[in-house]
Amino acid sequence: MLKKKENYVVAVVGATGAVGNEMIKTLAQRDFPVARLRLFASERSEGRIMEFRDTEIPVETLNEKSFEGIDVALFSAGAERSKTWAPVAAGSGCVVVDNSSQWRMDPKVPLVVPEVNPHDLKWHKGIIANPNCSTIQMVVVLKPIHDAAGIKRVVVTTFQSVSGTGQKAIDELMQQTTDLLNFREVKCNVYPHQIAFNVLPHIDKFLDNGYTREEMKMVNETRKIIGDESIRVTATTVRVPVFRCHSESLNIETGKKITANEVRAILSATPGVIVYDVPEKNIYPVPIDVAGKDETYVGRIREDETIENGINIWIVADNLRKGAALNAVQIAEKLVEMA
């Protein structure tokens, strides 16, 4: 566990990426007790200067001794780097909060959303996994409903922004949009098809069962986080031409009857959730309004009239904030609280 201190030496690994940048901002905005911040990225970023609390910090490259003296390291550098460097960091006495997919389904590594399963932090062995962005916002909404009515099955369709892929995808959407509006030829480098003015029912690699890895992440991670293997989840994940925020349509079947008004009341009292649901006045969550916000926004709450115990919900969250950086920092805050 983290040792009790007044301030902590913190590292961000993958500091120059979209999520790494957001982690640095989030540490500052939430006034995390940072005594010193160290920033790491690939060799091509070495020496680059980044700012934190009006202090200029040079970006370093990793080596075997990089984590000596570091208390907490927030990783967002991809699965391969996490596979290599997270054990090195943990072996140096550092607690790693890893945003990649590398450790999520490892039975020896807790997979944590602080509003849902903070108790799992107690058994970490130096590495804690940050869940998939689309899973995080979904389980924040599912857990209180599960506690109240027992969820049997979830059908989820996601509408995920390009920032979930990274800065290159953000740049590609911008460039393709500019090219199309100027009657120029469109080039596709990040995605297999044009993303501007299009939707792609394809996130990550396709598996033998016909689902993508992103879809199966949502299935498996949901069960692990909520701690109930009986919950059945089926997912279709879709990439849409939005820069920031993931949206999701949830169809939930519960064990006992729960009304739409009961769901509104439950979610209104749930930390980290904002019910934004007056559709007759065009009030419902949309990405452009949720970007930059910490909370998961919920709307279009209604009963599914085709089954006995069914609820439909629309949710939107900022995938770079709650879906990644914020959740990682919240885990670090919980570790400080528990120290």
Annotated catalytic sites, by residue?
133, 246
In sequence order, what DSSP letters do the residues of 117-147 get, joined into one string?
-GGGGGG-SSEEEPPPHHHHHHHHHHHHHHH
β partners of residue 301: none
Answer yes or no: are the C-beta atoms of 276 and 183 closer than 8 Å. Answer: no
Answer yes or no: are the C-beta atoms of 132 and 204 closer than 8 Å. Answer: no
> If you search the block for the tokens 């349509």, which residue do you land on?
249
Would you tell me the crossing angle of helices 213-226 and 133-149 to the nearest 10 degrees? Answer: 40
Round to whole Å and give the CA distance between 39 and 26: 14
Half-sphere exposure (Cβ direction) of 320: Cα atoms closer than 13 Å: 26
Answer yes or no: are the C-beta atoms of 50 and 16 closer than 8 Å. Answer: yes
- Name the 3-class secondary structure at 10: strand
> If you search the block for the tokens 């460039």, which residue do you land on?
175
Answer yes or no: are the C-beta atoms of 10 and 32 closer than 8 Å. Answer: yes
Interacting residues of 61 by C-beta distance below 8 A, sequence separation 6+: 40, 41, 42, 43, 46
Structure tokens at 302: 């209604």
Answer yes or no: are the C-beta atoms of 273 and 138 closer than 8 Å. Answer: no
Round to whole Å and give the CA distance between 163 and 142: 24
Burial class (CB in 10 A: 0-12, 13-18, 19+), 317: buried
Structure tokens at 196: 């501007």
